[in-house]
Structure 1
């Protein structure tokens, strides 16, 4: 499956850049990846940029109001999307103010990484690690030792 990762901004801190690069490289073994960095001065401008970047791909927004997954649950969800004919998913991390209600209404899924508030840079790394872990579970590989 093709995963289109859309982020408002990019990791600024060295640890986050290194983590993003590492997990992006690992994830490319399992999925075709496209990464798009968008910007905007307001949440509305950011949401418009995310919508344009996603195009026709079903949109999954990282949002604190969203569904939480276990690693196995995320793996099963992504597998079901692929089996259901979804050739591409767009996953988006918003800016500091989050996504607009209008963009949330257009999303296929709101996904919460948990109840903790994470710094933007860390959330980007957690997203990629979660996707990588889900891919290794689907592949039956030993990375995940739940």
Structure 2
């Protein structure tokens, strides 16, 4: 399946950039991957840029109102989407103010990384690692031991 990762901005801190690069490289072994970095001067402009970048792909927004997944549940969800014929999923992390209500309302799904508020750089890193972990679970590989 093709995963289109859309972020408002990119990791700025060295640890996050390094981690993103590592897990992006690992994730490419399991999925066709596209990464889009968008910008906007306002929350509305950022959300519009996310919507445009996603195109016609089902859009999954990272949002605190979303569903929380265990690693196994995320793996099963992605597998189910692939089996349902979703050739591509777009996953998006918004800017500091999140996504607009309009973008949330039109999203395929909302995914929450948890109840904690994470810095933007760390949220991006957690997302890409979680996707990699889910891919290794689906492949039956030993990366995930939980």
* TM-score interval, normalised by the smaller of the two chains: over 0.9
SS in 2 for 1:143: coil
TM-score by length of 1: 1.00
For residues 43 and 110 of structure 2, what CA distance do their matches in structure 1 show? 17
Name stretches of at least 5 consecutive residues in structure 2 with no aligned partner.
none
Name stretches of at least 5 consecutive residues in structure 1 with no aligned partner.
none
Alignment-derived partner of residue 38 in structure 1: 38
SS in 2 for 1:117: coil
For residues 68 and 8 of structure 1, what CA distance do their matches in structure 2 show? 21
SS in 2 for 1:5: strand
Deviation at 1:71, TM superposition (A): 0.2
SS in 2 for 1:3: strand
TM-score by length of 2: 1.00
Aligned positions, number: 146
Where do 1:96-115 residues align within 5 Å? 96-115=96-115
Alignment-derived partner of residue 81 in structure 2: 81
SS in 1 for 2:25: helix
Q: Deviations over 1:33-85 (max 9, x none)?
A: 00000000000000000000000000000000000000000000000000000
For residues 28 and 18 of structure 2, what CA distance do their matches in structure 1 show? 16
Where do 1:21-100 residues align within 5 Å? 21-100=21-100
